[in-house]
């Protein structure tokens, strides 16, 4: 069956934010749909296993949480699939998605019922922006976003979810790219130099760190970096990352997963302030998109940390959670595979005078050494892995530490639910969960789960363990 209009009533959410109509044959993913609302849709890609449709209008009453998306590029860009719902509609949709993920592993009774809102609201909350560089249909250079389901770069001049300073910086880069005749990279022809521009703004200081992602080195980037710092007082530093990989990946990670960069202009890092901690963040470092929500998570985490317990923070990045834990508990040990992130975290520990230590290495490889070091101490373990969740062997390694408590923070409820299911099978008990609106207008959500260890009553360890540095072999 070809393209057509149809009347359907979606029944559930899909992880990427479309509303799924499972009654249709084949099931339909409806862009801008809302489960429970009967609507006229245009089926633009009928498909064999799943069709794709676009909401046209509600056939009876519009859903009570439906709003006109407050962005005229809503459907063209596709970066904010839930902008067609008000805050309450988004809140309950996000909790529905997490509940469905938890239900897959029999954990629906433990799914969070509370979602902490983004303190910066639904607009202007993004302090990290990743702009694609390409060409318009007329061949003019363009700085914007990949379009919904395409690899064409679309312009997003009024993007409401990034901060106003990032928006201004995007316009400045777009003008300079034209003025300085910098060619956008074309992956098909393998011509041109500039692929992406990544910018982070510190919520605390307002300063920007810019990373130009080039297909190769070029003197053009030095000119662009100089002009950017001269034109925008908010730009603290400009760096270059060279990504020679085919395809459309943003970065080409080094062997340890780090993003190598070279400084072209200005500072090596900007400083973010979260929960009273000063965190230097460099180009290529991972740090949360929404620092105000990162602060909520740290504050909540602190409440679950008993005094005088040894805290092990796995997947510690630039160290925000480790530092908060060390400040509260008297000592914490972070583990992170990216060496530059560990160096940043060590610097932050000294900047904040907090007794946190950091080890470089793969979690699964470092855990046995931590076990020897903490022997008999029943630590508290914090994990905040990447989207794929815990690697094979990590749960065994955590169990061997006999933790009294485990806090699992994740941006992917699907892998988190899988891992929580495995942890419950191994004797852990879920005692608390809470969701956080880290990414308003999208189906993405951050979830914190607190578990008690299989060993029964928690015992706090009285003193921090002997200092000893474990290095990656």
Q: How far is the CB of 357 from ligand SAM (least distance, A)?
A: 15
Residue 189 in contact with residue 215, Cβ under 8 Å? Answer: no
Torsion from C-alpha of 28, 31, 32, 34, nearest 10 degrees: 30
If the CB atoms of residues 336 and 357 are measured against ligand SAM, the closer one turns out to be 336
If the CB atoms of residues 463 and 472 are measured against ligand SAM, the closer one turns out to be 472
If the CB atoms of residues 170 and 341 are measured against ligand SAM, the closer one turns out to be 341
Q: Which of residues 321-360 bind ligand SAM (CB under 6 A)?
A: 321, 335-338, 341
Q: How far is the CB of 274 from ligand SAM (least distance, A)?
A: 9
Instruction: Write the interaction track for ligand SAM spanning residues 37-66; mark x where CB under 6 A is met and - where it is not.
Output: ------------------------------
Q: How far is the CB of 445 from ligand SAM (least distance, A)?
A: 14
Among 117, 250, 351, 386, contact with ligand SAM (rule: CB under 6 A): 386
Report long-range pairs for 337-341 (Cβ below 8 Å, ≥24 apart).
337/256, 337/257, 337/361, 337/362, 337/363, 338/256, 338/257, 338/258, 338/286, 339/256, 339/258, 339/472, 340/258, 340/282, 340/284, 340/285, 341/258, 341/285, 341/286, 341/316, 341/317
If the CB atoms of residues 161 and 338 are measured against ligand SAM, the closer one turns out to be 338
If the CB atoms of residues 82 and 315 are measured against ligand SAM, the closer one turns out to be 315
Among 102, 315, 358, 408, contact with ligand SAM (rule: CB under 6 A): 315
Q: Does 251 bind ligand SAM (CB under 6 A)?
A: no
Residue 287 in contact with residue 278, Cβ under 8 Å? Answer: no
Q: Does 370 bind ligand SAM (CB under 6 A)?
A: no
Specify the stretch interacting with ligand SAM by CB under 6 A; choose among 12-20, 56-64, 184-192, 381-389.
381-389
Residue 2 in contact with residue 46, Cβ under 8 Å? Answer: yes
Q: Are strands 262-266 and 235-242 parallel, antiparallel or unpaired?
A: antiparallel
Q: Are strands 141-146 and 153-154 parallel, antiparallel or unpaired?
A: antiparallel
The Cβ of residue 178 has, within 10 Å, a number of other Cβ atoms equal to 12
Q: How far is the CB of 305 from ligand SAM (least distance, A)?
A: 15
Q: Are strands 12-13 and 208-214 parallel, antiparallel or unpaired?
A: unpaired
Q: Which of residues 252-311 bind ligand SAM (CB under 6 A)?
A: 257, 286-287
HSE-CB at 440 with a 13 A cutoff on CA atoms is 26
- ∠ CA 139-144-145 to the nearest 5 degrees? 110
Q: How far is the CB of 433 from ligand SAM (least distance, A)?
A: 18
Total number of residues that touch ligand SAM (CB under 6 A): 20
C-alpha torsion sign, points 135, 141, 147, 149: positive
State the residue number with the nearest CB to ligand SAM: 317
Among 134, 144, 320, 397, contact with ligand SAM (rule: CB under 6 A): 320
Residue 208 in contact with residue 201, Cβ under 8 Å? Answer: yes
The DSSP secondary-structure symbol of 233 reads T
Q: Does 384 bind ligand SAM (CB under 6 A)?
A: yes
**The 332-336 sheet, strands edge to edge:** 115-116, 429-436, 446-452, 405-410, 380-383, 311-314, 332-336, 356-360
If the CB atoms of residues 160 and 385 are measured against ligand SAM, the closer one turns out to be 385
Residue 420 in contact with residue 430, Cβ under 8 Å? Answer: yes
If the CB atoms of residues 63 and 328 are measured against ligand SAM, the closer one turns out to be 328
Q: Which of residues 182-211 bind ligand SAM (CB under 6 A)?
A: none
Q: How far is the CB of 370 from ligand SAM (least distance, A)?
A: 12
Q: Which of residues 94-133 bind ligand SAM (CB under 6 A)?
A: none
Residue 127 in contact with residue 204, Cβ under 8 Å? Answer: no
Among 23, 104, 252, 391, contact with ligand SAM (rule: CB under 6 A): 391
With H, G, I as helix, E, B as strand and everything else as coil, classify residue 404: coil
Backbone φ and ψ for 418, nearest 5 degrees, come out as -60, -50
Among 24, 218, 316, 340, contact with ligand SAM (rule: CB under 6 A): 316
Contact residues for ligand SAM, defined by CB under 6 A:
257, 286-287, 315-318, 320-321, 335-338, 341, 362-363, 384-386, 391
């Amino acid at each position: 069956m070809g393209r057509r209009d149809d009347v359907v009533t979606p029944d559930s959410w899909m992880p990427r934010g479309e509303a799924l109509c499972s009654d249709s044959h084949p099931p339909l993913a409806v862009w801008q749909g809302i489960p429970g609302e009967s609507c006229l849709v245009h089926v633009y890609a009928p498909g064999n296993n799943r069709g794709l449709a676009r909401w046209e209008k509600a056939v009876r009453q519009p859903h009570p949480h439906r709003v006109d998306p407050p962005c005229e590029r809503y459907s063209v860009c596709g970066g904010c699939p839930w902008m067609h719902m008000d805050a309450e509609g988004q809140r309950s949709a996000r909790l529905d998605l997490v509940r469905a993920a938890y239900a897959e592993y029999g954990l629906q009774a433990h799914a969070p019922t509370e979602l902490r809102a983004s303190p910066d609201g639904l607009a202007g909350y993004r302090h990290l922006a990743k702009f694609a560089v390409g060409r318009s249909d007329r061949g003019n250079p363009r700085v914007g976003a990949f379009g919904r389901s395409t690899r064409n770069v679309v312009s997003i001049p009024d993007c409401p979810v990034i901060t106003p300073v990032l928006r201004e910086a995007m316009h400045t880069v777009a003008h300079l790219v034209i003025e300085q005749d910098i060619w956008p990279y074309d992956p098909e022809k393998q011509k041109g130099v500039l692929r992406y521009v990544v910018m982070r703004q510190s919520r605390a200081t307002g300063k920007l760190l810019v990373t130009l992602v080039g297909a190769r080195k070029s003197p053009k980037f030095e000119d662009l970096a100089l002009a950017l710092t001269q034109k925008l007082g908010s730009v603290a530093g400009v760096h270059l990352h060279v990504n020679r990989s085919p395809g459309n990946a943003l970065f080409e990670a080094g062997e340890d997963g780090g993003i190598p960069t070279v400084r072209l202009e200005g500072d090596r890092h900007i400083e973010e302030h979260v929960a009273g901690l000063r965190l230097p963040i460099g180009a290529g470092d991972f740090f949360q998109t929404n620092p105000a929500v990162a602060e909520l998570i740290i504050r909540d985490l602190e409440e679950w940390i008993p005094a005088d317990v040894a805290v092990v923070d796995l997947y510690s990045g630039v160290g925000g959670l480790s530092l908060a834990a060390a400040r509260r508990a008297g000592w914490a040990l972070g583990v992170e595979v990216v060496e530059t992130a560990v160096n940043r975290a060590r610097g932050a520990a000294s900047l904040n005078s907090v007794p946190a230590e950091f080890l470089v290495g793969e979690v699964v490889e470092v855990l046995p050494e931590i076990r020897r070091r903490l022997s008999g101490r029943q630590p508290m373990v914090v994990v905040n892995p990447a989207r794929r969740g815990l690697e094979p062997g990590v749960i065994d390694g955590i169990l061997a530490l006999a933790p009294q408590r485990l806090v699992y923070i994740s941006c992917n409820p699907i892998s988190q639910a899988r891992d929580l299911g495995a942890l419950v099978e191994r004797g852990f008990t879920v005692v608390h969960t809470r969701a956080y609106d880290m990414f308003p207008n999208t189906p993405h959500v951050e979830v914190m789960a607190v578990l008690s260890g299989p060993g029964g009553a928690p015992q706090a360890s009285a003193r921090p363990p002997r200092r000893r540095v474990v290095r990656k072999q």
